[in-house]
Structure 1
Amino acid sequence: MQLIAHEKSPYGELRVFDTTELYGELGKFRILQFADGAVQGAIDLKDPSRVVLAYQRALVGLMDAIRPSFGQAFVIGHGAGTIARHYGSERVRAAEIDALVVEWSRVYFGCPHDGVAIGDGRELLAGTEAGSLDYVVVDAFTAEGTPPHLATLEFYRLARDRLREGGAMLLNVIGRGKGDKRVASMLTTLQAVFPYATAISAAGRGGETGTNLILMAGPRELARVGLPRDCKPSHVQPGYVLRDR
């Protein structure tokens, strides 16, 4: 791998690499990494429009399956800007707490600033109009996983209030595998707010799958949505309801 950029921001250490192999696939890729070394974003330099990472393909596939002609999505956790770049700033508003991440998404991954706000995602979501969104997507992480204030009953109620009728909430979460109590409690908390909530896994190459799960919540009609290719339901044990402290 070739190091392209390395810098510390107030929120952590960031690196950008170019590599000729990603999860067993040969090509020309650029990746964004945080301090834990996990790939947080990637672009195929030969085909920049392609969605490279399995969990991001799952998110996009679900968004297309649930409401193909959706009008407005709010994404918390901009990263390399894959979702914003895929759908365009007219359809996606993104929130990113780290200004350096936003700058690098533009400089190294070709994602324009349009539609990206810098700040806490929950606070920025609270500033949107009730019933104005088709999707609320959470793809934000700290070293410990999803930030606690983005995993509570009160936050999920805020998201539900901002969704239009038939809208859905999608969360990319990372756990410790089977029996992860925090992921179980996140799903249980979603089920306390939304009529329907479930967990989905997305298959990827090599070590790409890790312990990523997509949590999907919304109206009961979501139970009839066909899952994208390489996605399947994932059984998660019941947990407890998470609340603001």
Structure 2
Amino acid sequence: MAFTPAPRVRSVQLSGSGLAARVSPDGLTEHGWWLEIGGLVQSHVDLAEPTTIRHEYLRRIATVLDGCRAPGRPLSVLHLGAGALTLPRYVQATRPGSPQVVVEIERELPDFVASALPLAPGTDLEIVIGDAREALAGMTGARFDAIVLDVFSGLDSPAHLACTEFYAEALDHLTEAGLLAVNVGDEPGLRFWAGQALALAEAAEQAGRPGVWTLADATLLERFGEGNLVLVAGPGIAPEQAEAWLAAGPHPAAVLDPDETEDLAERLA
């Protein structure tokens, strides 16, 4: 079922960053839309086909979520940063009835997105406005099957989120079969990714959890260029899932196991 955006809602000024958020047709399909923040494309949504994901790193995270449980089984998911709510829409489409929580620091953004690009009926989504770490600290006793962290962009990332201590706090909020997926955007050389991989590996080791996996474009890992990499950790990861992650792409795809991730991170850090 397709959902038509409200024509009167197109842009909003974000009080936190001072940037403008704007929704516009993608020019590719009748129901496709871009979310731009500060003039830069941040997210994409296809209202008719919410399982269509155009950003490759989000597609990789969606593949990881696909393997969390049997197909169609609901997942409890915490999204720390969510843009146009692309992943929450995907989870609802593939696993109807999944209870989801979004934490967003830009107060105006979630209501703007939900008004301009309506969510599917029946979506169980709670919106929390605030800092990701502070919000997580307030969720005493809450456990999630998956936590998705999507707030990092290289050296501009908030230092209090890009650290071992925060990763340890996030891992502590997973169920016994849960996982943490982290999007890391980085510049050529991938030094920021390397630091985050090592920080997450340390947190996982301290918690007695399995090591850290990396999913990325294979060319990016060969040339160490600019791009996005996905780190995955948590008790819910089975080594045999790596084959499915690799096969699902987007291609060319690469999946590094914990040993490979740590070895490369130590070389690039």
Going from structure 1 to structure 2, the CA distance change for 1:164 and 1:143 (only over 3 Å counts) comes to closer
Contact in 2 for aligned 1:81/1:109 (Cα 8 Å) = no
Whether 1:33 and 2:36 are equivalent positions in the alignment is yes
Going from structure 1 to structure 2, the CA distance change for 1:131 and 1:103 (only over 3 Å counts) comes to closer
Contact in 2 for aligned 1:70/1:134 (Cα 8 Å) = no
Contact in 1 for aligned 2:186/2:193 (Cα 8 Å) = yes
Structure 1 residues 203-238: Cα deviation after superposition (integer angstroms, max 9, x where no partner): 8xxxxx960111111238443212033242267632
Moved over 6 A (4+): none
Whether 1:79 and 2:83 are equivalent positions in the alignment is yes
| Matches of 1:146 and 1:100, distance apart in 2 | 21
- Whichever structure has more strand as a proportion of its residues is 1
Structure 1 residues 167-220: Cα deviation after superposition (integer angstroms, max 9, x where no partner): 11101110003x2221101001111122210221158xxxxx960111111238
Going from structure 1 to structure 2, the CA distance change for 1:143 and 1:113 (only over 3 Å counts) comes to farther
Contact in 1 for aligned 2:100/2:126 (Cα 8 Å) = yes
Residue equivalent to 1:133: 144
Segments of 5+ residues of structure 2 without an aligned counterpart are 1-8, 205-209, 219-224
Specify the SS of the correspondent of 1:12: coil
Shift of 1:15: 3.0
2:192 to 182, 203, 218: 182
Residue equivalent to 1:103: 111
| Matches of 1:96 and 1:20, distance apart in 2 | 24
Contact in 1 for aligned 2:77/2:145 (Cα 8 Å) = yes
Please list, as runs of the form range in 1=range in 2, the aligned pairs for 1:125-164 lying within 5 A after superposition: 125-130=136-141, 132-141=143-152, 144-164=155-175
1:65 to 64, 67, 82: 67
Specify the SS of the correspondent of 2:160: helix
Going from structure 1 to structure 2, the CA distance change for 1:48 and 1:192 (only over 3 Å counts) comes to closer
Residue equivalent to 1:9: 15
| Matches of 1:104 and 1:144, distance apart in 2 | 28
Residue equivalent to 1:51: 53
Going from structure 1 to structure 2, the CA distance change for 1:41 and 1:188 (only over 3 Å counts) comes to same
* RMSD between superposed Cα atoms in Å: 3.0
| Matches of 1:76 and 1:121, distance apart in 2 | 6
Contact in 2 for aligned 1:175/1:212 (Cα 8 Å) = yes
| Matches of 1:113 and 1:12, distance apart in 2 | 30
Going from structure 1 to structure 2, the CA distance change for 1:70 and 1:90 (only over 3 Å counts) comes to closer
Contact in 1 for aligned 2:213/2:231 (Cα 8 Å) = yes
Q: When the two structures are aligned, how many residues end up with a matched partner?
A: 228
Shift of 1:98: 0.8
Going from structure 1 to structure 2, the CA distance change for 1:67 and 1:147 (only over 3 Å counts) comes to farther
Segments of 5+ residues of structure 1 without an aligned counterpart are 204-208
Residue equivalent to 2:235: 219
Whether 1:118 and 2:124 are equivalent positions in the alignment is no
Shift of 1:106: 0.7
Structure 1 residues 106-152: Cα deviation after superposition (integer angstroms, max 9, x where no partner): 11221379411111111111222447211111011468543222221
Please list, as runs of the form range in 1=range in 2, the aligned pairs for 1:205-244 lying within 5 A after superposition: 211-219=227-235, 221-225=237-241, 226-227=244-245, 228-230=248-250, 231-233=253-255, 237-239=264-266
